[in-house]
Chain A
Amino acid sequence: MTAPAPVRAALMITCLADVFFPEVGVKLVRLLRELGVGVEFPAGQTCCGLPLFNSGYRAEAAAVAARTLPLFAAAPYVVVPSGSCAWMIKHEYPGLVEDRGLRAEAERLAARTFELSQFLVSVLGRTRFASAVPGRVAYHDSCHLLRGLGEGRTPRTLLRNLAGAELVELPASDECCGFGGSFAVRLPEVSTAILGRKLAAIEACGADCVVTCDAGCLLQIAGGLSRRGSRVRALHLAELLGPEAR
């Protein structure tokens, strides 16, 4: 058997993972390298601009997009450990930048950008891993990954095949966790009430940990579970995926 041509991918770490969940990035890099992917981390990354865009600061978001695009121009693939940021790149960047050259660049980037689970399953075709955290796992669909990118399948494929872990159903897994970026502090009581419904479902479903593919949902759900002193842990998908299982 000849070795397949090595895949190269650039990591877009996202601001939340960079600052709050660096371990997600570290695990992700190790995982991809084990799979034979050459991982690069373009310097100068900050944030994709989604918080600006969603709050109506379109010109400012466009400026952020314009400076982010060239950072990833050389990468054959871009891997993003967050559905909402991947959505921003794939769905919004092309319409956001005015310059025609940049727009073509944005369209190329959109086509090469993948959320982590999509990259593993749809690009690399790798679906079987050992669980780094044994036990029962529930999956929370992030809104942007599920409805924005239409992806509910790849994370579940990975979790269902996870050796040493059992995927349990989280009722209403497709309902929002109440994060919504600045929504969480604009209407904190409402955001918290929506989260309350999500946490109740998580705690009732019998899972030892809840997994998401979005740093925003992770911030919200982990923050709520931690405040409650819950025994359930919130993890990013990258933290759960151990070595590839044969």
Chain B
Amino acid sequence: MSGGGPASLRHRAAGALQDAFLQEALAIATTRFIGLRREAFSNFPDGEALRDRARAIKEATLQRLDHHLERLVDRVEALGGQVHYARTAAEARQAILDIARKSGARLVVKGKSMATEEIELNEALAQAGVTPVETDLGEYIIQLAHERPSHIIAPAIHKTKGQVAELFARELGRPVPADPEVLTRIAREQLRDRFLRADMGITGVNFAVAETGTLVLVTNEGNGRMATSLPRVHVAVMGVEKVIPSMTDLMVFLAILARSATGQTLSVYTTLVQGPRRAGELEGPEELHLVLLDNGRIGQLAGPLREALACLRCGACLNVCPVYRQIGGHAYAATYSGPIGILLTAMLQGQEAVTELAHASSLCGACADACPVRIDIPRMLIDLRRGGVERRLVPRGERLVFRAFARLLRRPALFRAAVRLGRLLQRPLARDGRLRRLPLLLGHWTHSRDLPAIAPRTFAERWRELEPGP
């Protein structure tokens, strides 16, 4: 079993459980998200069929991913955009730094993008003397706090409004009320100036439509639209799996994405970017760059985590996950948190990175149920656990315990003997048929819960008297 050392998941989780602010923020936000999503789908009779349709589109697209990517590249280039292919996070960072250098960019406004978090772009930009400014309110908050996002779509979900007010007060050097409207207004004022001065906008991509070369951004604050239209240069970063074949397909995804994420019918802004500014147009960037990011994705096209490539990054599985709801995103210590985050972390960093994380789930299945494209997350978590066992990444002691248990289960006589032994050993500890304090691993149970004592006679031992007479 995993230990509780300072670097362990268990230790990080226990810390999160003791953080009263985090607990308050998480409880409010996830409960709200769950209710909103439920309501959105209960008022949407086509929802279930569209989820199946969306999954089928993703499957079909992954079958011919090379074909769809080639079409996308052709279309984007035909529209005047430039496409960069990055096999690794380092290659993606380098491509973006090169673009920044060539265009002489000093100030970058960023739209919310998990892909740029994945490649740790902000750190690289800052080191190269380019200032990145996050413009999504949640991202702006955590940038001020020097933290990382703790949720795919609500990066500052771990913060209460009081904490945000304190952060803003420190930044502005004056008191700020803990009123979301006031806080939003302050962020707007601060960011408006940055939008107008920025040389470059960097955004993610929710969907890239191959047939038209359209990059689609889904936001609620309009910052995506500002970041893609005001600066001279727009750089869009997308995982290769974000390509979809057609605009008709886009309609299917848009119908379920916002409903799953925030319970909205549609997000407030759906921004469609089609190439850089053309002659005669009044707005839009002079240059459009699309960075296609592999970073472990292509390798899973035929791999055990393939299904995870269908993920829309809606965050629904985080909101419903009992573990995420208790510990929040930071305890996962990875770019992507929650149930899908464990799979994505394995995809990006390999099996070794999730030996412990694969167990951060009770396998309750709420994630698979909430997933708009019905990704069977629990099944892949079990597969990752199996990988940890078979590659001997889990501690030897644990393997010995489970293998001994397996032997008991195959030998009924041994199983019954073990039960009798347990009954003998528990004798000094049992009170009123309950065990309140047990040693070793079982102490992890009795620390907070009673355990029934092994029954004086098991069912198997009582069966004889239940058997009907001759």
Contact = CB atoms under 8 A, between A and B. Distances in A.
A183 B326 contact: no
B458 to A, nearest CB: 5
Contacts of A69: none
A219 B451 contact: yes
Nearest to A57: B402
A147 B449 contact: no
A197 B2 CA distance: 24
Given A189-B14, A194-B362, A22 B458 contact: yes
Chain A residues touching B, majority SS: helix
Contacts of A49: 406, 409
Contact of B386 (A56, A144, A197): A56
Interface in A165-190: 174-176, 178-190
Nearest to A193: B326
B410 interface: yes
B419 A19 contact: yes
A178 B322 contact: yes
Contact of A56 (B17, B385, B403, B444): B385
Contacts of B454: 19-20
A22 B459 contact: yes
Contacts of B422: 19
Contacts of B442: 185
B382 interface: yes
A24 B466 CA distance: 13
Nearest to A191: B362
Contacts of A242: none
B197 interface: no
B361 interface: yes
A8 B261 CA distance: 49
A57 B403 contact: yes
A75 B196 CA distance: 76
A11 B384 CA distance: 33
Interface string A15-50: 101111111111001100100000001011111010
B56 interface: no
A178 B447 CA distance: 15
Interface in A203-246: 219-220, 222-224, 226-227
Given A19-B454, A223-B449, A223-B450, A189 B410 contact: no
A202 interface: no
Nearest to B23: A193
Contacts of A174: 366
Contacts of A29: 466
B368 interface: yes
B434 interface: yes
A188 B444 contact: yes
Nearest to B419: A19
Given A33-B468, A144-B365, A190-B360, 7 more contacts: A23-B455, A43-B412, A52-B405, A53-B382, A186-B1, A187-B2, A223-B451
